[in-house]
């Protein structure tokens, strides 16, 4: 039975699973968050942000959707499983009819995302990277559940083994922090890995560089992260789009050229990107 929308009692996640009549499928990267305490805390991590319109990616059976509706003025929930889309629309019919909930059917990588003030989501782990590369440029606060290893990469500092393209991208758009670690037992079925909640707070970078060129450069040199930047720049022109790698190498600081991609700060990537534009013919 659908619970009344006006009630402040939180829906039980196990009961939602039972009413939906589904089971999580590891092969489909489908793990439902069923720990009440974690579900209750997730919206709290966004209380400092504007929650007038919250985007939820991967709504599942609605355990988090229910909690978001208790605080947000409006929620857009994206779900790719057509069975769950229909279930959510029926389960939360009151909120849908009141215009407080919009359930969007489809993959969040493909659908048109609305304007939103913040996003709180238990992201599908198999597509976390691609989803964040889509969400971060929207420059809105994010609270996302991801694999613990993935979370470590998001918040990693230069010089650490976890530091990579994701770290640079996250650091370009926002301050990122791990706010909670979540055990496997919080999900049904339990995933093979531990999870973590990451909160990002948007901010402007302290450098000015054309983003398309910047991210093309970063993407390219991290494919050669074991090489010095001198060799990485020379070997990845097919990815970066640099027309004259030799000119970039000739103009760059020797300390930067002797470093590896995993050792450079975003500001240093920006400086090299600027050289690639000015001296190496990198298109903007």
Measured between alpha carbons, how far is 245 from 10 in angstroms, rounded to an integer? 58
Annotate 118-181 with DSSP letters as a single string: EEEEE--GGGHHHHHHHHGGG---EEEEEEHHHHHHHHPPTTSTT-SHHHHHHHHHEEEEEEEE
Residue among 47, 93, 101 nearest 76 (CA): 101
Question: 58 among the known binding-site residues?
Answer: yes
The answer to whether the annotation marks 122 as part of a ligand binding site is yes
Contact predicate 276/240, CB 8 Å? yes
CA distances to 109, 186, 188 from 33, in Å:
21, 6, 6
Q: Helix (H, G, I), strand (E, B), or coil: what is residue 260?
A: strand
Angle at which helices 36-44 and 63-71 cross, to 10°? 40
Paired tokens of 99: 């215009």
Q: Is 27 annotated as a binding residue?
A: no
- Asked if residue 166 belongs to a known ligand binding site, the reply is no
* C-alpha span between 41 and 35 (Å, rounded): 10
Through-space distance between the first and last CA atoms of the chain, rounded to whole angstroms: 56
Binding-site members for S-adenosyl-L-methionine are 31, 33, 58, 79, 107, 122
Binding-site members are 31, 33, 58, 79, 107, 122
């Amino acid at each position: 039975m659908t619970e009344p929308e006006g009630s402040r009692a939180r829906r039980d996640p196990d009961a939602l699973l039972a009413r939906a009549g589904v089971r999580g499928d590891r092969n489909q990267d489908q793990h439902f968050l069923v720990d009440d305490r974690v579900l209750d805390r997730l919206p709290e991590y966004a209380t400092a942000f504007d929650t007038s319109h919250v985007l939820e990616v991967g709504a599942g059976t609605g355990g988090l959707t229910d909690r978001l509706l208790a605080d947000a003025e409006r929620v857009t929930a994206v779900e790719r499983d057509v069975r769950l889309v229909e279930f959510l629309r029926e389960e939360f019919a009151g909120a849908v009819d009141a215009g407080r909930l919009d359930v969007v059917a489809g993959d969040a990588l493909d659908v048109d995302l609305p304007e939103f003030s913040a996003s709180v989501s238990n992201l599908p782990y198999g597509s976390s990277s691609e989803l964040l590369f889509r969400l971060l440029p929207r420059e809105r606060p994010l609270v996302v559940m991801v694999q613990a290893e993935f979370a470590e990469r998001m918040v990693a500092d230069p010089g650490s083994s976890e530091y990579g393209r994701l770290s640079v991208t996250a650091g370009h758009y926002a301050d990122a922090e791990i706010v909670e670690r979540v055990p496997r037992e919080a999900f049904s079925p339990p995933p093979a890995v531990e999870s973590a909640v990451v909160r990002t707070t948007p901010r402007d970078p302290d450098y000015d560089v054309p983003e398309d060129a910047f991210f093309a450069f970063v993407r390219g040199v991290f494919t050669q992260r074991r090489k010095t930047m001198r060799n990485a720049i020379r070997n990845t022109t097919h990815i970066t789009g640099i027309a004259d790698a030799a000119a970039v190498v000739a103009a760059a600081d020797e300390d930067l050229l002797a470093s590896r991609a995993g050792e450079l700060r975003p500001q240093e990537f920006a400086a090299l990107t600027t050289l690639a534009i000015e001296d190496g013919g990198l298109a903007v």
